[in-house]
Structure 1
Amino acid sequence: MTIDPVVWREPVQDAWIDYNGHLSEPYYVLVFGHATDAVMVLVGLGPAYREAHDASLYTVEAHVRYLDEVSAGRDLEVRSSVIGATGKLLWIWHELWVDGRLRATEEVLGVHVVGGRSALFPEDVAARARAARTEPPAEASGRIRPLS
């Protein structure tokens, strides 16, 4: 079964352009962070959940591949997928596309945190993560685990 990726779109901001005339490194990660927020909403970890439970997803590992430059005035599209999960860990795969070309990827490992400590996902969140999960691409780390 193929699961459609979560799509996040935003334009490149002028302030994000570096001295070489291209999107600067930290802004790739910023945009991937916005896309992670969209995935969190998909699985039930959105703003209302975070506020009600003093909970969030903390990034504990990330791997970014910068594949091609992005210039000013472009529209960014991040396609994100859940590629793995355990009781309290969530793996997300992001692909940054511009003008129909893949420009960067990020693999993110997040841990569910409640009150500043790691905690199991509530069952409804775990169920949504299971339902959203798709096979990781060949470029992923290979350390993804099934939901347990």
Structure 2
Amino acid sequence: MYRHLLVPTDGSALSRRAVVHAIAWARRFGSRITFFHAEHEAPVPFDGAGVVINPHALQEAQDRLDAAAHDSLAEADALAYEAGLQADSVVTITNKPWEGIIRCAERLGCDLIVMASHGRSGAAALLLGSETQKVLTHSRIPVLVHR
């Protein structure tokens, strides 16, 4: 069966359900589990002349993004611990989460990616895009989608 699961999480309720599902899977089959969070780069506040308006604002924004990433991973780690599992966690800063997920899974030798999908369809899926869909389209590693 699958030996090492990569489980992307963004801290949402839907993502949390995928985490719980992955933990149950890992317990049942004795798999390793790594939680992953793709942290966006903080936007740089420029004025019209291309000058940074507040040099501290960038660091403050990055600090908030870091805290959110670590909070969502800490929650996933706590759920794994409660289930008797030890999990690893990875944060990658990228504006293309789907690429970060695939690169991380390949680098760690994961043989299954377990992730949530919001199940958007039609115009919403087209406009918002779907990180899950992009992972499904580009990954050579199997993907289990939890909805």
Q: Larger strand proportion, structure 1 or 2?
A: 1
Instruction: Tell me if both proteins adopt one fold, taking TM over 0.5 as the criterion.
Output: no
Q: Larger helix proportion, structure 1 or 2?
A: 2
Give the TM-score normalised by structure 1: 0.31
Which structure would you say has the larger RCO, counting Cα contacts within 8 Å and 6 or more residues apart?
2
